[in-house]
Structure formats: structure tokens, C-alpha cells
A and B are shown apart, each in its own frame.
Chain A
Amino acid sequence: MSYVQMNQVSKAFQEQKVLDSIDMQIKKGELVTLLGPSGCGKSTLLRILSGLTALDSGTIHIDDKDVTPIEPKDREIGMVFQSYALFPNLTVTDNIAFGLEMKKIPRDDIRRAVGEMIELTGLQGKERAFPRELSGGQQQRVALARSLVTKPKVLLLDEPLSALDAQIRKNLQQQLRSIQRELNMTTVLVTHDQEEAMAVSDHIYIMNAGHIAQHGAPHDIYTQPRNEFVARFIGSYNVWSAEALGRIAPQVEHIGSKLYAIRPETFCAQPLEGGLAVTGTVSSVTMLGNITRMELNVQGQHVVVDQIHRASDWANVGDSTTVYLHPKDVIPLHDATA
């Protein structure tokens, strides 16, 4: 039985449909990510779940209770905003205590709960600081502590890490995930960063233009994209038409899809047993840190090849080169079945 259930949720802003009959199930204690490009409706879906935005049609159940008509303040949902929305006039302690004070919890219990949260989020020594005196990462942790202290049923995170620089972001991703696991907190994360989604999620919903393009565990989504959008968004896949595939690799059995996806890193520089040889002209070579990306022109088809970076054995622009591909790595995209 799922803990959070959304059925046929739709929303339009001024005739513009932003969410179209969304269904979603979230298990208790799961971290689910809504992933998609900006404007795909993921933040709107999150706001609808929180009650801050009203839905046009559909229902939302949390813990077997229909929360659709319930106001945000009574939904028992915690939310970390992209801008954190910390109260500038209150100290770290008072910010975290705010939700408990609203619930009229006894003072001693508040002090204890806030203390625990400060420890959990590693904010010791900052209790009396005001939000403006904190770094971005610290503010983010205060926002997290403030939403967790009331023990919400669901925690919503709206691009909580997007304003931070890469180093801190990686660090906080791990912290976030370990805190979420420790508290077994059902969490919905919104992000446009597929690496972040892959790193922290139990389950990913990929959204595009108000629809769910695909959902599943990170590994399944990455290895089995269902359509061109997911293939391109999640792993910068090469997407070939059936006709191009027939031209480049006639040996691959056609199984009736219009489009096929091939991950750039499945190409191999050495001949493979049962592998196909793909020969083309190098149009560019780019160093991306630990991998090198080579773009080939194979009979008019643009092909992207990623290889773990090695010192020298790469072709130069203009050279003709051959890479090898295993037929099992050619993934038919089902949603484009002919």
C-alpha cells in the first residue's frame, strides 16, 4: 500500500495545462525525485502536494487520508524552499522552534527537540545566529531542521541545493540522504539535475510538459529509457531512427521500434566479440575530466562516444576511426513503437 497517492491530478494556469492527469505512488520512507527540465510542472506538482497551490481535479491521499480539501497548515507536510524562506527576524533556534510553538508544544519539549535537530544537522555553535549571518549551506540546513522538527508525514524539497556551489552540494546531498534514511522520512525532491536525482533517489519520476515521461528506480531508468525524451535527458543517449540503425549497423535485429538509443559509454575502442564496427570521421574531441567525449560523423549520422580518459590513444579531428558496439546495448525505445 502506498503512503502517498496522487490520482489524476490536473492543473491549468490561465487555460495553459501544466499538469495533465498525474498519477503517483510513494511508499513510506522512500525518497522520490521529480526530475525534469524547467517548466515541466514538477514544482507545481510539489506545491499541489503541499496544498499551497490548489488543484483543478484529482485527489491526494496521505497515510490513507484524503488530504485534497485540507489546508496547508493542517496537512503535516514539511517543505524546504529553493530560497529557504528562513524568518530573518528569528535566530536559528527560534526558526527551528517556530513549527513546534505553533503546535503549542511545552517549552521544555521544544528545547529538547530543537537541540536534537541542531545536532542532527550539524549546526552546533550557530544556535543564536540570525539567518543573514549564515552561509548558504548552513541556511539550507536550518531550513531542513525547521521542516523536520515537527515530524511531518512527508518532507518536500524544492530544488534545495540548486543555489549552492558544487562541492557543498555533493556534501549536502549525502547528508540529506543519510538524515532521510535515519528518520525514515518519506521525501519528495524536485530537481533538474539528473546526477543529483540518480545519487539520492529510491525512485525517480521523470516529467516532461505536464506528463510523467517515465518512472522507476534510478538504475532501471538509466538502463531502460522508454522514450527519446528520457534517453536524451537522463544520459545524453545517442538516439537513432530505425533507418539510421539499418544503415550504420545492419546486423542488429530490428524489433519494430521507430527509435533506438545507445549510451555513449557503451562504445569500445577495441574490437568486441560479437561486436559491430562503426567507422566514421571524428568531428570533435572534448575532455570532460575523467571521460573524453568524441563526436563522430558516421554516414551522415552524428554519434557521441564517451571513453574513460586515457593518456593518448585518441584520434584527432578529421581522422577516420572505428569504435565497437555490442548489439545488446542498442535499446529500442518502446514509446515510439512503429
Chain B
Amino acid sequence: MTRLTRSLPMVAFAAVLIYLFIPVIATLLYSLATSWNKTILPEGLTLQWFGELFRDTRFIQAFGRSLLLSSAATIAAVVVIVPATFAISLYAPKLERWVQTLVMLTYAVPGVIMAVGLIRAYSGKGFSMIIIVFGAYVIGMLPFMYQGTRNSLRAVQAGSLMEAAELLGASRMKAFIRVIVPNIMPGILVSALLSFSILFGEFVLINILVGGRFETMQLYLYAKLNTSGHIASAITVTYFILMAILSAWIVKLTGRTSKPNKEPSAAVAEAAIPTTKAMMSKEAS
């Protein structure tokens, strides 16, 4: 009985892992399989599908579009939201309540509803729908950028640093650029990477608002699902690898936590991390 109760958590944990990883492993194997129809494991391995994928200019273009759209939206979000968060948390803390409400709103509106609303509001009125998607992306990143930046500002005690810099003769602008930005950089970077990885995988808005006119990687993947399972798997694996690299980067930035004297940069980056939970709840919804 005791042995059973002791091993039960391990069994449950293993079951969850298997449940989560079987599709991933199967996708990976399928992307490398020559053919896989009647056997338990693939009949042979090949890089043919990846070769085909990377020779396909349509894929390269779609990948480039995704990269361009996600990074441009992320950069715009950083440029707009970081200074705004700084100004609000230091000089207008009363407004924080309203920002919190805005943050909640971005969670409350499901993607489909937002897409329909945006079509109703802007479609056929002379606006390029890509610009509308871009704007929605920038605003959609508010929760991650805002929370990450605010936590980083708190972790470095931005208020005292600003006061010290000002008394040493720096203007607020100069103090912000010379003192605050370098110190919260790890936090900004983590928030930006999270934002980027969310935007890179975004499908609902771009599909409904723009569709095939601006084919991103997700749209290309969707199209390929109906033609070639192998190619679709290769796309998915490519996407996974990209996300793994980004995640490793985030882990590296927030890591070094086991050291007794934690590097302040790691503390700042870690302060930005609660956004991961937010991201998960957003993806789940």
C-alpha cells in the first residue's frame, strides 16, 4: 500500500509526460519518415521533407512574413509600452488601476470576437487590414510588456535610481536612457521574446482579417495540412526548434537563480517572468 502511494505521483507524472510528448515525438518522426503506414515506427528516415520545405520559396516567404510582422509588432510594443509603463508607475501611479483594467480586457476578448469586431470597424474603409492586425498585435502585447516592465522597474528600485540620477544633474529623459533602460534591459528582453513567440504563432486574427493575401507561416502550415502530412510535420518541427531557441534564451536570461548572490540582471529578468503564467492562461483560453 505504502509503495503504491509512494509511486503513484511518479506514475501520474510519467503519464502526463507521455500524453504531452507522444504527439511531439510522432510529429518529429513523421517529418523524418520515408513512409509510415502499417508499422509502429517509420519504415525509414529521410531529410527529404525538410529539403523540399526549405527549397519552397512560398515557405521561405511565409516564414519571412511571420518574422517581419512579429518582430515589427514586438519592437513597436517595446517602444510604446516600456516608456509608458515607466511614466505611469513612477509619476502617475493612480493611472495603474486603468492600465490593469486594459490588461484584463485584452484577456477578456476572445480572438474570434476581436477579429469580427475589427472587420466590422475597419474593413472596406480604406485601411490595409495588415496594419489593423499589426495594431491589434501591439495592443495584444500590452499585458506581457506592461507586467514585465513594471516588475523589472520594481526589482531595480527605479524610483531611487531616477532621483539619484536627477540630483547628479541628469534630465529625466537622460536618466531614463542612461540608468533605467540598461538596468531593466534583461526584463524588457524577456518580455519581448515572450511577445515575439506568441505573435509568431498567432493564427486566428491573421487568418480571418487578412488570410491568403499575406501568407504567414501559420497560414502556410494550415494550407499544407491538407496536402502533405510530412511537410506539415516538418513545418511544425521547424517552428518548435525556433521556439526552443527562444525559450533557451529566456531561460538563460532568467537563470543563474541557484547562485547565492543573484546577478541583478537575472533578478530583473526573473521579475519579468510572471508573464509566462499570463501567456499560458491566454493560450489556454
Contact = CB atoms under 8 A, between A and B. Distances in A.
Contacts of A98: 165, 168, 170, 178
Interface string A82-100: 0101111100000000110
Contacts of A229: none
Contacts of A72: 163, 166-167
Interface stretch (A73-81, A169-177, A285-293): A73-81
Given A73-B171, A102-B174, A85 B166 contact: no
B216 interface: no
Nearest to A74: B169
B264 A88 contact: yes
A208 interface: no
A52 interface: yes
B169 A87 contact: no
B183 interface: yes
Most chain A CB within a 10 A radius of its CB, from B163, B182, B263: B163
Given A52-B163, A132-B261, A88 B168 contact: no
A72 B174 CA distance: 14
Interface size band for A:
20 to 34
Interface in A31-69: 50, 52
B279 interface: no
Interface residues of B, number: 21
B166 to A, nearest CB: 5
A141 interface: no
A150 interface: yes
A81 B264 contact: no
A88 B156 contact: yes
B157 interface: yes
Given A79-B164, A132-B264, A89 B183 contact: yes
A145 B191 CA distance: 36
B253 to A, nearest CB: 15
Nearest to B164: A85
A103 interface: yes
Given A81-B163, A88-B264, A150 B182 contact: no
Contacts of A103: 169
Interface string A145-166: 0110010000000000000000
B168 A99 contact: yes
A132 B264 CA distance: 8
Contact of B182 (A71, A89, A102): A89
Given A102-B174, A132-B263, A132-B264, A85 B163 contact: yes
B99 interface: no
A87 B183 contact: yes
Interface in B173-225: 174, 178-179, 182-183
Interface in B233-272: 261, 263-264
Contacts of B178: 98
Contact of B168 (A52, A71, A83, A146): A146
27 contacts: A50-B167, A71-B166, A72-B163, A72-B166, A73-B167, A73-B169, A73-B170, A75-B167, A79-B164, A79-B167, A81-B163, A85-B157, A85-B161, A85-B164, A87-B183, A88-B183, A89-B183, A98-B168, A98-B170, A98-B178, A99-B168, A99-B169, A102-B168, A132-B263, A146-B168, A147-B167, A150-B169
Interface of B: 156-157, 160-161, 163-171, 174, 178-179, 182-183, 261, 263-264
Q: Which 9 A-B pairs have the closest CB atoms?
A: A99-B168, A102-B169, A85-B164, A85-B160, A89-B182, A88-B264, A72-B166, A102-B170, A73-B166
Interface of A: 50, 52, 71-75, 77-79, 81, 83, 85-89, 98-99, 102-103, 132, 146-147, 150
